[in-house]
Amino acid sequence: MSGFSAQWLGLREPVDHRSRNQALQVQVINYLAQVKTVYAGSVHVTDLGSGTGSNLRALAPHLNSIQYWTLVDYDQTLLQVARSTLLAWADSEIESAETSSTTIKNLSIRKLNKTIIVKFKCVDLLNDYQAVLNEPTDLITAAAFFDLVAKPWLTKFCASLSKPLYTVLTYDGNEKWSPPEIVDSDILKAFHQHQRTDKGFGSALGPTASECLQSLLRDQHFTTICAPSPWILNHQDSALIKQLSIGTAEAVREMATLAETVVNQWEQSRMHASRCEIGHIDIFSYKA
């Protein structure tokens, strides 16, 4: 399964948080405030492909005063980083006498007058997603996840899903770099080829993921709302622009469809781009 470094996830987190579609997020928050939750007076969220816990840090300040989160990831190292990062993010830790049966000890924290209890689960979602979906929860979340999966897996996932799903920052294939260059379209085409390679679930959906996910959810009679959440990067995001350029160039080189000199020149130019827009889609689905 394809992995991501904690450094890359940390670099993108501030941009991820500001790019989330706020109007759609408000709809999710209002929905949770109106429905009967698993545990009265609290909310339980299960986050798929949770990485270092960015989704929790973005959403938790807006939810109930008592929250239960289950962070699910294939990479145990990232889950360990998630625990330490959340502990540093918290206003305080709540000491608990509860013993944890999992490898990573549960975490109870206070943040902005919220009590947040976090469980960490190392799970291979390729094969074991059903067990995760069967557990009690009020909301399934994910961020920058579904563009990594294959259509056969996603079809089975949607057929098994019974709970509301809120997924953010799924790559949609749209990119605009400034100033524009003639080679941009060739680079993007090769990058999209790489996006569709196997990321651990079979041939990935890449930029077609959002459209496919919406269609599959509607087939399962989910009410589905989507909204744009593009990264809009400028000189204040120079470190992310640089790493994005390097990562894109590396992916394009792997495809070997463009001359090395062309890719190198594009990479050097884009590392110092003045502006960049990367398209994403946020989706909220639920059954009435």
Tokens for 192? Answer: 């999209």
What is the per-residue pLDDT for 5? 84
Residue 2 confidence (pLDDT)? 44
- pLDDT, one tens digit per residue, over 197-211 is 999 999 999 999 999
pLDDT reported for residue 176: 97
Enumerate the domain spans of the chain: 6-175+202-232+277-286
Q: Which region, left, alpha or beta, applies to residue 147 given φ > 0 means left and ψ of -120 to 50 means alpha? A: alpha
The DSSP letter of residue 73 is E
The sign of the CA dihedral 176, 7, 19, 51 is positive
**How confident is the model at residue 99, as a pLDDT?**
58
**pTM for this predicted structure:** 0.95
What pLDDT is stored for residue 77 in this prediction?
A: 95
Measured between alpha carbons, how far is 101 from 83 in angstroms, rounded to an integer? 16
Strand partners, 171: 280
Phi-psi region of 252 (alpha: psi -120 to 50; beta: other; left: phi over 0): alpha
**CATH code 3.30.70.100 for 6-175+202-232+277-286:** no
Flag residues of the chain having pLDDT under 70.
1-4, 96-102
Closest by CA position to 189, among listed 244, 240, 242, 258 = 258
* Rounded alpha-carbon distances, angstroms, from residue 96 to 52, 58, 86, 100, 153: 22, 24, 16, 10, 38
